Structure 1
């Protein structure tokens, strides 16, 4: 395995931590949602509006398959990437999967002003985040090789923890990652 794949709920810091981690390793960084937007020329909310969640999930699966075929990459996935069994298998087989667990309260704080997350645009955001966590947490845990709590730690400290976990799990990384 020569990829690190970050999974977890929206607001867990996957993109921020992933960029730092990729920089330290000298690896490529990809955010699966941003890659879908680049490939389609459409925003995630627009894809949800036109194709619905099922259409988006099909696009997400295709993107994950394309991205995980490579090596030497840090991949930040969308929060719902684990909903499909074929995605969970694909992720586990193609990298060290790290679940960035964060509390619903922290997710709420980080996403309360975000207008780009389709699942949070209707109703009570906190209740939606709780429902999503109840549904997805077991899937994140099933998929992950490593579970790390993000609570209160800086993105740089989390990147350090992931690097340590990657070494403990036998991931081939450069012995001299960038600081």
Structure 2
């Protein structure tokens, strides 16, 4: 959450001449409502069910870059689809970087109550081991430019022949 999956993914797809999909935007298109609304009405479990369906469908396409939501990695089913259907790029950032990048964002349901910094740290403790388990490539996003990060990803992907997803 806040690592740059959508931004980097969009630029990466453009550079590689592939179609770009953001699983959260696809869910919003399909339902006609925001992710926040889905969380409010269906809870996290309802959202995760929709997310898994979208990831299953999107990862079945060829010549695509798929940016998943930050919590998509929690589902074993999602991890299996990502791992078996493409190259998984984990865009890694520190808790402080994520805090700065999401500080003013009001659209992230899991960061709307309580201490945002502590919530980010708790999510990272839960998710990072899963990201590292699934990732074929790990890129530290740091403070470098978007283009620098895209170039790093491309450099690593040139060593592979599979499709890939950003996680």
TM-score, scaled relative to structure 1:
0.89
Which of 52, 57, 60 aligns to 2:43? It is 52
Determine the structure 1 residue equivalent to 2:60. Answer: 69
Q: Secondary structure at the match of 1:74?
A: strand
> Closer, same or farther in 2 for the Cα pair 1:101/1:49, shift >3 Å?
same
**Whole-Å separation in 2 of the counterparts to 1:51 and 1:69:** 26
Match of 2:129 in 1: 138
What is the number of equivalent residue pairs in this alignment? Answer: 164
* Aligned counterpart, 1:126: 117
Query: For 2:99 and 2:108, how far apart are their aligned partners in 1?
Result: 12
Alignment of structure 1 residues 81-160 onto 2, 5 Å: 81-160=72-151
Q: CA deviation at 1:172?
A: 6.9
- Which residue in the other structure is 1:6 paired with? none
Superposition TM-score, scaled by structure 2 size: 0.95
Matched, 1:24 2:15: yes
Q: Please, which of 161, 167, 170 is the counterpart of residue 152 of structure 2?
A: 161
Structure 2: where are the runs of 5+ without partners? none
